[in-house]
Chains A and B, each alone.
Chain A
């Protein structure tokens, strides 16, 4: 056992060198500032209203998920992924299931894939609603947020119908879903497709050509594509700079290649473009859900999981009556499944960007090493450098438009 090495650098003296006459003010924005929508701290050095430099401190809700995951069987890691980006937990759940399925080389029936697409796109809409709504609130338009909040509530009702939970959903299982969508769920998805477009249209009308909103957001925090790629940005904020990188298109998973949808891109990468990209993505998500419903109707009814008895828990009534089911049930619950030694990287398009799961598996009960490539974490590191020279009020809306979710930032 090696002793840990001594500290490399002491906690760096952040920025006391560039202010010899002590003219600047140091401001702690956070960790619990109401405008940051999460637990982040930014130590800003300000000259009046203008930020001179800043340092981000993160990790306030770090929960060591990667360490915990090394001690949990696969199905117990799903609830951990819920708590990454808790605004769109189903995308994380699905991403994790697909990672394990890639490792185990499980073929998923088409109907299940379309069901997953529906769940993921609903989650994307729910996430973008929050981000764009909050962006409106931060620029002073509170009412739009309330209009769309009701629709997010409706999406959560659909999730509740599908899996019983609303926010941290733990939706689906390795190999498919824990149960089929019931009639009510399908009816509610259909109802959502009818009631959401007018609301989104109204929300859009409040902002898109609103002069106050445009003046607050247009030209603020402009990012070039080169900068964005150098900072490994992904997701809507990268697309707002004009790079058409969407994991759903570039590296399709879950049959996304069969769907017809557009990837919206911006031109200048400012806050307004990010708003518009997210807004358009909600319309595209609706298109995808519609197509998925049509495709599901053509598939054989009642298929909601792959036929992998060694990894998918049998129905409880069979466990009591059927020998094989009992054995599989016991093996799965005790973690006695046979898994290959391999390593796998799987990425999905999360609401904030490329959400990657890198797993090294040694054939044991739990992953040898699991790393989450968390888009919020990687996107957020540009915040402090790009803030210098900005007004504080602009930095606030810049932070809103990055849509940094503290759970995903800190893991």
Chain B
């Protein structure tokens, strides 16, 4: 079997999906693509089961908040092919205030807690998730604390302002 590389991954994806995805780059050799929310499960299923790609290990699911962008939430999936040591990063950009993507628990059981954590931090709703509750924070919490608008410290505190450090 040939050694899998980013070109082969891209070619295989293009054959199957055409223009349905965007290549965002290869930071530090890790191919990153962006997919629309409606298509993410089809994508994940394809890369998981395809005989060439076999990116069947779900390393991680998390999210990022970009409050200045129109689509202000980015859900990030890391997949891994252990045989060839190839990783693929898939991003899904969605807009708030209630970002919604379909759940990946239909493909991997392990996605369950990863998605619960992402929901807990960012309020990303994973449509179809069997048990979407908070996991690390208390159930009574009314905000999603990893969103950028929630400051780490008391915003009224002035003694740590940049002004006092000449910057």
A residues contacting B by CB (< 8 A) are 1-5, 8-9, 11-12, 58-59, 62, 64, 66-68, 70-71, 102-103, 227, 229-233, 243, 245, 250-251, 334, 342-345, 347, 354, 356, 358, 360, 368-369, 371, 373, 377-378, 381-382, 385, 410-411
Min CB gap A297→B, angstroms: 31
Q: How far is the CA of A245 from the CA of B110 in the complex (A)?
A: 17
Min CB gap B99→A, angstroms: 9
Min CB gap B3→A, angstroms: 13
**Residues of A contacting B32 in the complex (Cβ-Cβ under 8 angstroms):** 343
Q: What are the 7 closest A-B residue pairs judged by CB atoms, nearest first?
A: A232-B110, A2-B97, A59-B136, A381-B113, A62-B136, A231-B110, A371-B62
B82 within 8 A of partner (CB)? yes
**A334 x B108 contact (CB < 8 A):** no
Given that A62-B136, A356-B59 are contacting pairs, would A230 and B64 also be in contact in the complex, using a CB cutoff of 8 Å?
Answer: no
Chain B 87-122 interface mask (CB, 8 Å, partner A; 1/0): 101000000111000000000111111100101010
B residues contacting A by CB (< 8 A) are 27-28, 30, 32, 56-60, 62, 64-65, 76, 78, 82, 85, 87, 89, 96-98, 108-114, 117, 119, 121, 123, 125, 131-139, 142-146, 149, 152-153, 165, 167
**B89 x A250 contact (CB < 8 A):** no
Which of B85, B98, B111, B133 is in CB contact (< 8 Å) with A250? B85
Pull 21 A–B residue pairs with CB atoms less than 8 Å apart, ordered by A. Answer: A3-B97, A4-B142, A8-B132, A9-B132, A9-B133, A11-B133, A59-B136, A59-B137, A59-B138, A62-B136, A230-B108, A231-B110, A232-B110, A232-B111, A232-B114, A344-B30, A347-B59, A358-B60, A371-B62, A381-B109, A381-B113
Min CB gap B97→A, angstroms: 4
Among B82, B87, B142, residue most surrounded by chain A Cβ atoms (within 10 Å): B82
Q: How far is the CA of A343 from the CA of B60 in the complex (A)?
A: 15
Q: How far is the CA of A230 from the CA of B114 in the complex (A)?
A: 13
**B123 x A12 contact (CB < 8 A):** no
